[in-house]
Structures are given as C-alpha cells and as structure tokens.
Amino acid sequence: MINLRKLPKQLIQFGKREYREKKPSRVTILRVRDKTVFKRGFMPSLIVKQHELIQYVIIAEYDDMLRLYLFSPTSILLRAENIEKNSKLLKNLTKSSRVLYTIP
C-alpha cells in the first residue's frame, strides 16, 4: 500500500537531487488542483470535480528554458519536457496549481 503522506517527501528529495546535480537557478514543486466541472445551487451545494492525471509538477528553471517533470498522484514520473520561459503552458500551470516547496 502506498503511504500518501510520504509522496511530497519523495518529490522534495527528487527536487533537491535535481538542484544539487544539475544546478538550475531554482526548483519549484507544484500540486495541480482538481478541475471543477459542474456547480449547482446557491452557495454551491453540489460541486463535481475532475481529477487530473498529472498531480505534481517539478519545474527546474535554467537561464534560457524550463524543465518540467510531470508526476502521477502516486509520485511516478510520467514524462519530462523542456519549454520556453514565456510559454502559455507555464502561465496556465501556475494559475491552476499550488506551490508545495521551492529551492532557491
């Protein structure tokens, strides 16, 4: 059985290892929020939310690009990709997520 309390700790260890080995300027660990699909009622009494496949994102910031590591809810690395610093994907991602940990 997977211990859900240890998942962010594993991600923090991964972020610290990335910072130590690859020397980015900053590493940020984000948790992606669930997407609200349906609201019904006054002061919504019924809210339906959709869980995302990607639950955690680690962003390693370099001088000219960003490296995104995408993790599942059980902290399994799904994929990694490079994007530009002024990407729309980054803006949407930071808007729909919450910062868990930052390494300067």
Where exactly are the structural domains of the chain?
A: 7-103
Residues β-bridged to residue 82: 67
- How distant, in Å, are the alpha carbons of 11, 16, 33, 38, 40 from that of 48? 28, 36, 13, 5, 9
Query: 5: left (phi > 0), else alpha (psi -120 to 50), else beta?
Result: alpha
Helix (H) or strand (E) holding 17, with range, is helix 7-22
Length of the chain: 104
Please report the pLDDT score of residue 73 as a whole number: 86
Contact 11, 99 (CB under 8 A): no
Token reading at 98? 């919450």
pLDDT in tens, the chain (104 residues): 456 566 688 898 999 999 999 999 999 999 888 888 888 887 778 888 887 788 899 999 999 999 999 999 888 999 999 999 988 988 888 888 988 889 98
